[in-house]
Every structure is written in C-alpha cells, then in structure tokens.
Amino acid sequence: MIREAPDDPSITIEARRRIRVKEFTGIEGTNFFGDDQGLKSLLADLLPDNQRDDIFGSLSRFGELAGGSWNDLAAQASRPENLPRIVKYDRAGNPVERIEFGRLNLPKLISAETPFAGAQFVTERSGGSDVGAIEASASPNGDGTWSITGEKWFCSNPDEFFAVAARVNGGTGGGSSGTSGVALFFVPRVLPDGSINSLSYRRLKDKLGTQSLPTAEIDFNGSTAYPIGDPSEGFKTLMNYIINASRLHNAANACGFLRRAFIEARNYARQREAFGQAIIRYPLIQETLLSLLERLWRHRVLTFTLVAMVEKNGIAPADANTAMWQRFLTNLAKYRTASTLTASIHDAITVLGGNGIVEDFSVLPRLLRDAMIIETWEGAHNTLCLQITRDLGKSNLLERWRAEVNGVLTRWPRDVMPRTRRRFDQTFRQTLEEVTTERLADSAWPAVNARRLVDRLGDLLELSWMADFALRHTDDATSAVLTSIAGRSLLPILNVFEDGGYEYIARHGAELIAETPIETDPALL
C-alpha cells in the first residue's frame, strides 16, 4: 500500500505526488483467476458438477502464470529488440524460410516442438471478409496431395503448420466461383523429407498492435498441401471449424482484455491520491470503473454461455436450428465484445492520467494497441452485423431470440429490479413492433439499419441473461446491481436525471468495485 506523505508543510503537493507514484505497487504477481469472483460465479453456474473442481484448479494455475511468469514474458516479447523477423537463409546459404521469434523462443510456443499450434491463412489483397473473392488456386497432384499457388496478405503466427484457403481449379469443384469453389488445405512449412516447402515470406507487417506476434505476407509457389475434409465442402469446413472457433476465442480474449483493464485501473485508483484522498473515492472515477465492470459482466455472460453451448452441441451442430442459433451467438459475441473494447481500454487509461500513456508504467498502452487488432480480426463489425441480418431474414432466428428474451422476462418478478424491468419490457415490446419479418425480408431496411438492429438485439439479450443470472443468485445482489447499471447504460431514457435509482446504486459503488458481496433490497433497483 502507498504510505502517507510526511506531514511537513515544506513538501509541496507535487512532491507528495512524486512520493506516491514512486511507491506505486502493480498487480503483477497476483493470481488473476483467484481474485475474479464474478468469473467464478458464472463458471460455477455453467460447469457440470463433476468437472468444476478440476477446471477451477486448472484455471487457478493458469491465473497464477498469467499474473506471473507469462506476464513477464509477454512484456519482454513486446520490446523492440525482441520483435520477430524473417530468416530466409541459414549461415551456409541454404533456404530456411522461417520466422525468428526474437530472443524469447519458447519451445512450448513453437509448433514444431509442440504440434498443437498453427495458423489459418485466408485473407488476400483481392478479398478480406469476402472469402468468395479468393484467387489462390489449388490443383491435385494425383498422389493425394495438392499444389497451392498464390499469395496470402495476412498470415499471423506463420510458424510450422498452416491452414490455407484456396480455390480449386481442377478435380472436385471444377473451378467454381464464389465460396462454392473454396477448399481448405493443410500446408506444412517443412515437408516430410526435411526440405522446405515451396513458399516464400515477402515481409512482416508493421502493425499497430500484437507486434510480438508476426503477421507475414506469403507467396505459395506450388506448395505441397493436403486437403482438410472434402474439398467440395471447403467453405463450410472453413467457417465451422476455423472462423467460428476463432471468433469464439476472439470474444474470450476481449473479455480477458476488459478484465485486465478494470483491475489495472482499480489498482491505480486505490493508491493514487489527489486533493487529500485516494481517487477511487471520487464519484466520476467510480462511475468509470463501474462502467468497465458492468460491460465485463454482460460480455462474459454472453461469451461463456455460448462456450457452454458449444461444449454441449459441438462446434458444428447437426440440428439446423441449433446450428443457426449458435452461429448467431458466435457472430454476436465476436462483434459485441470487440466493438467497445478499444474505448474501454481508453477509459481505463484515463483513470491513470498521465501515467496511463507511459509504456513501462502499465500494460494498458499495449492493450490499447492490441485491442484494435481484436476489433479487426475475424470479421469487421459491419461484416458481422450484415451477416446476422441476412441470417435473421432467412431463418427463425428472430423468433428464437424473442422466445429467449421473453422467457427471462416471464420469470422476472415485477418487484425485483422494477425500474430496470419496466424499461426493459418497454424496449423489448417496441423492438418487436419495429423489427418485423416484413422489414427483414426487404433487403434495403436491414442493410441500412444493421448496426442499430444488432446492437438492440445484443443489448436485450445480454441484459436478459444478466437478469436471469441475478435471479439465480439472490444471496448476493452484485449481479442485480450491475444489471441495473447496465440497463441505465443500454436502455433508452428521456431524462438521465429523473431516475432516482442511480443515487441508490452509487451507495454500493465501493462494494461493487471491490467485488465484495452486496446485501440490498432489489426492489429499490
């Protein structure tokens, strides 16, 4: 803890501030999972009883590493002298075509040593989110292998094993255009005989974020490849087992970023003093921290409810309705968690003031840069929203969403969080009046309103699942209070000053931020 400055009138206010910053203690070395009561409560709900202890034990060990040695390694890897570089030849002039991951080459992160790591390469200059515009071609060799020729524009983590999307120009597929002609292939950097596969690194991207993770441009020059699944089902294989899985990981990653931003800002606010008291006591600082916390809770409820669903149904469910609902949630979770992440990290940085923009003071500047990568990775916001609106127009998704939200509303007593429930009910009914099957069938209306439509569906689904969680945990009002805060953030209101409930919520700000159990009457929320 920070000690009080000496009670000496000759010491200026600025000198006192320097003393306190000098004595600042970071959160490094703590167990990030052990301190996360909200995540523990959520996982306790979602995990089967016979798996909970083992998984919690594993996560505890993970949390200790994440706050300890892994945190140190990540900081070192991001230093300029340790950034990756291309190595094209060995010392004798033989081609090697590999990435040197700096001076921090850890065997467990290298797929040649631990062959469970790899990367997927889809994007080309001709098309990013538009997979049907892929031009790289694949031709059968007659011995079960294929040859891939073309370039890939974004190849992140180009280590030893690649999953490459290419257009079939012979054999199965007959050179079909659009997504129907796309197949997925396994491409090793080194062939079974030890020779380097026919590929060449052009350059590494000079990226804004995730700089310690190399992203290359690669030319495939008749590279030997092996089909993954049926080439005629390549696009389905790509979406089900590569893109959707990656979007789910992206959402979980964003939740991790948001949690780290919250605890970094909270830790600083507890120690930093201004005008005679720790800044965590000031209402505006508390409001910032609470906005980060409620966003974290509802994004985690969405993401990990989806994870539990995937665990139950598989990544590609056989039932068409289940598969469509899971696809909707996957696209929604990726979009929702990513679209507000950069702004959330920015808010956390402002809590630290000038210290927030200093690279070696906290992890937040690096998280800010990396958050932009999470936003752009695996589908831009507009792409995801347009895909969701297209799916709404050709399936029963809207009815499934309505039933899910209405089911929670039916279970929600009117005297529990009544202010929030009333506004939630009004917004839900208004949404059903505006979002009709006729409007969804009209191509113009969804295209214009895609972001607004998906945001409204996401707002109400997240809030309903937050409320449902609160109704199951009546022994601790934390989730109920955070649901009410989320409602004030997301639901329309004409006069932001008219709802007296916010002052009541503010009384519990310190408890919420400290993540200690709260006893309060939910009828007052």
Q: Does residue 502 share a domain with residue 402? A: yes
Q: Which domain holds residue 120?
A: 85-228
Nearest-5° angle of CA 275, CA 276, CA 281? Answer: 90
Which one, of 284, 258, 282, lies nearest residue 270 by Cα? 282
- Each residue's pLDDT tens digit, 447-484: 999 999 999 999 999 999 999 999 999 999 999 999 99
Predicted confidence (pLDDT) per residue in 367-417, tens digit: 999 999 999 998 899 999 999 999 999 999 999 999 999 999 999 999 999
Q: Which residue has the higher pLDDT, 178 or 275?
A: 275
pLDDT tens digit sequence for 8-46: 444 455 554 554 667 899 999 999 999 899 999 999 999
% of the chain beyond a pLDDT of 90: 80
Written as six digits, the tokens of 263 are 């605890």
Number of domains in the chain: 3
User: Is the domain of 224 the same as that of 246?
Assistant: no
Predicted local distance difference test score (pLDDT) of residue 281: 95
Q: Examine the domain organization and report whether 266 and 209 are in the same domain.
A: no
- Which of 228, 258, 282 is at the close of a domain? 228
Is residue 509 situated within a structural domain? yes
The three-point CA angle 414-417-420 to 5° equals: 95
Band (3; pLDDT cuts 50, 70, 90): very low
CATH of the domain at 109: 2.40.110.20
Residues 89 and 213 both lie in one domain: yes
Does one domain contain both 343 and 299? yes
State whether 361 and 304 are in the same domain: yes
Q: Across all residues in the chain, what is the average pLDDT?
A: 91
Those residues whose C-beta lies under 8 Å from the C-beta of residue 429, and which sit 6 or more positions away, are none
Express each pLDDT in 426-453 by its tens digit: 999 999 999 999 999 988 999 999 999 9
Position 2 confidence tier, pLDDT thresholds 50, 70, 90: very low
Residue 503 confidence class, pLDDT cut points 50, 70, 90:
confident
CB-CB contact of 185 with 158 (8 Å)? no
pLDDT bucket at 108, cuts 50 / 70 / 90: low
More confident residue, 1 or 340: 340
Question: Can you tell me the mean pLDDT for 50-75?
Answer: 95
Decide if 51 is inside a domain.
no
- 503/399 same-domain check: yes
Q: Are 137 and 202 in a shared domain?
A: yes
Q: What is the pLDDT of residue 270?
A: 97
Residue 114 scores a pLDDT above 90? no
Residue 463 lies in a domain: yes
What is the pTM for the complete model shown? Answer: 0.92
Statement to judge: residues 337 and 417 lie in one domain:
no
DSSP result, 46-106: HS-HHHHHHHHHHHHHHHHHHHTHHHHHHHHHTSGGG--EEEEE-TTS-EEEEEE-GGG--
**Helix/strand/coil for 216:** strand
pLDDT in tens, 304-314: 999 999 999 99
Answer yes or no: do 291 and 184 share one domain: no
Whether 311 and 276 map to the same domain: the answer is: yes
Residue 108 lies in a domain: yes
Q: Are residues 98 and 203 in the same domain?
A: yes
- Given a cut of 60, whether residue 276 has pLDDT beyond it is yes
Please compute the mean of the pLDDT values over residues 277-300 and round it to a whole number.
96
What is d(CA 209, CA 133) in angstroms, rounded to the nearest whole number? Answer: 27
- Average pLDDT over every residue of 157-176: 77
| Residue at 72 is within a domain | no
